[in-house]
Amino acid sequence: MPKASSGSGRPNRSREKDRLKDIPASPAPATDQQITETVEQNYMPYAMSVIVSRAIPEIDGFKPSHRKLLYTMLKMGLLTGQRTKSANVVGQTMKLNPHGDAAIYDTMVRLTRGNAALLHPLIDSKGSFGKQYSSSMVCAASRYTEVKLDRFASELFSGIDKDAVDMVDNYDGTMKEPVLLPTSFPNILVTPNFGIAVGMASKICPFNLAEVCDATTAVLRNPKVSTEKLLELMPAPDFPGGGQIIYDHDTMKSVYETGTGPVKIRAVYRYDKTQNCIDILEIPYSTTIEAIMAQLTKMVKANQLRDVTDFRDEIDKDGFKLTLDLRRGTDPDALMLRLFKETPLEDSFACNFNILIDSVPRQMGVHEIITEWIEFRSGCLRRELSFDLARKKEKLHLLLGLGKILLDIDKAIKIIRGTEKEADVVPNLCSGFSIDRLQAEFICEIRLRNLNREYILNRINEIDSLRAEIADIEETLADNLKLKKLIASQLAEIKKKYGQPRRSTVVDSGEISVFRKEDAVENYPAHFFFTAHGYLKKITDKSLRGNDTHTLKDGDSILCEFDGENISELAFFTDMGQVYRTQASVFDTCKASELGEFVPAKLGMAEGEKPLFCRMGSNWDDSSNFVFIFGNGKGVKIPASAYAVKGNRKKLTGAFSTVSPAVGIFEEKKPFEILVKTDDSRAAVFSSALMPVKTTRTSQGVQLITLKRGAKLASASRDFGDELESSRGYKKIKLPASPTAL
């Protein structure tokens, strides 16, 4: 029991003085210190520690936290064994990683199959690990989940047990850990990685494994391969969550060359006509469903989203789904264009390829990263082959000693039996057979039952194969080309075993429609007239009733006329084999007495490009066909479904064959008669039902009319009542048909 203090409640002064004598005197006040010295002594070591030992990935594609976790799981036998509790792995990893169990478990979660953050998960998981695309779906506690290494993770440790990489002490010197993992493929470009250090950051997007293997093989064959070639082999990143990558060649080339730049990603959606709703099935990798719904909620509260009656999270075991219920009459494509503009349904992944090379951060392009990885992998393979070479040479040396014993087994037995002391057995064998101590030790370890001619002969037969293997390894180590060939063969095997189709589709930026505020226009019925010279008139009911006499240019005529709405889709087929899709609202209303708007100028067509046919409606999946008549007398029918495209592409190339100029384009909902005229005053009439249907858009079809040498088709028309007094004599029932003189 401690003694009570004096009655006054104050401490005993003498004892306090004695205690204070034992406390060393505080140092004199420090002199003023320059801020630069403070930064150098205190801040810089911390900053370098964060950069080198925590936040920036190295050439194997991992930060230290990832590497320590995966190596611990390997040493636990989780590459081939059963799953174990995540808490067990976390506890074992703390022998290498001193940053605490929560940080280790968070690192593990992102590498699992259940979290869906990687194209090729490194950890096979059981239990709830949350989802990369949701911030509210958190993982279960480590005591409830189970993990083991995925089969794919074996490619990370190739040769690690053969001195492929340096091993260093852990933080308390009780065990060893690898400085890097000897990945047998460029994992740095396959596994996405983000990190924020002091004064710098790193953000590496994932690429498709098969494409990365092809690109790396190309660099192995030609170290000076161009960026354009790499873009052909590896056109864009590939994100685990899919989405549409809006491809801009110049921007992507800059990303590949400098390691920095944005990659634009759009959500993928599907319109359900029966339920009148939009199902969003894939979202950008850089956002979450909660961020999207928060922005939608904000727009609804501000009364800016009247076309959406409800939206909800429908994520289930089948995957991601965000559903938007639409108001009747809403154009889903126009709505999505607006949401792409005003919500994270379209987002950018800001690439920043900052990587540690020999503990020095470097910002590199794709070619430079692959080159550095090849150098790293070559070093790993050299060390692995040198390890194998030393073991094989050691084995060969022992077998050569065994071969000498074969000459006189009885003598060996006699020496062993005749030796009185155990310590003299090895020296006596060495002197008796002219072998060294290692060979003698090996012979002494052979069991008595194996000391027979058959066993020794079987072992000696390995000598020739060993010598061949040693020669092959030495040749590979001496020849850089053979070493690169070995790396390429490993990449080909990995591609074959683990390659997957792309999840993110690539869409050219020129084919993507962009929302503009002026696109949100009023809808109303209108009449449309398209002329042979490429003019389009959009006339309201009221204006048309006032005057139905059309003003046209000299020689011009109306090719197509139809009724529609201001938000209807228009498609223009041009003489260059292209289809331009746009909304009718982009054209101004006019009167019948006006010429209308010149379509090539309005849609930004190429110089000299001429529209030949106009079609209204966004339904390309119906049973109708498009009929194309060409100047060389051929013709073809293409199903309308061949022109259905995903997304909002505004231009479709390769719409039909351009081998011969098109003289007539028609839409066939049911068979109709076509009048064709040649430039040598001949004509024929036949039914469109005689023409075959081809599914390839650029097909030339079949010969419709037999033409004289030098003759061509001049025109084709379907409403030709005024052009012929009677079709008798011109009517044909078989193809190809011979035209009749006019």
Nearby residues of 581 by Cβ (< 8 Å), 6 or more positions away: 569, 570, 571, 649, 650, 651, 652
Q: How far is CA 630 from CA 36, 530, 690, in A?
A: 80, 21, 16
Q: Is 455 a catalytic residue?
A: no
Conformational region of residue 226, where left means phi above 0, alpha means psi within -120 to 50, and beta covers everything else: beta
Query: What is the residue whose two structure tokens read 């429609």?
Result: 513
> Per the structure block, which two tokens stand in for 115?
């979290």
- Element at 216 (helix H, strand E): helix 209-221
- Element at 458 (helix H, strand E): helix 453-460
Candidate list 46, 144, 171, 524, residue with the active-site label: 144
> Per the structure block, which two tokens stand in for 412?
């060996």
> What is the DSSP code (8-state) at residue 10?
P
Burial group, residue 718, by CB count within 10 angstroms (0-12, 13-18, 19+): middle
Q: How far is CA 525 from CA 187, 408, 593, in A?
A: 57, 108, 19
DSSP 311-377: EEE--BTTB--EEEEE-TT--HHHHHHHHHHHSTTEEEEEEE-EEEETTEEEE--HHHHHHHHHHHH
Tell me which residue of 372, 338, 172 sits closest to 266, measured CA to CA. 338
Contact 478, 386 (CB under 8 A): no
Tell me which residue of 43, 506, 490, 442 sits closest to 231, measured CA to CA. 506
Separation between Cα atoms, residue 442 and residue 25, nearest integer Å: 68
Contact 593, 549 (CB under 8 A): yes
Classify strands 176-178 and 322-326 as parallel, antiparallel or unpaired: unpaired
Separation between Cα atoms, residue 30 and residue 392, nearest integer Å: 64
Q: What number of residues does the chain have?
A: 742
Neighbours of 498 (CB within 10 A): 17
DSSP 670-718: S--EEEEEETTSEEEEEEGGGSPB-SSTT---EE-B---TT--EEEEES
Please identify every residue annotated as catalytic. 144
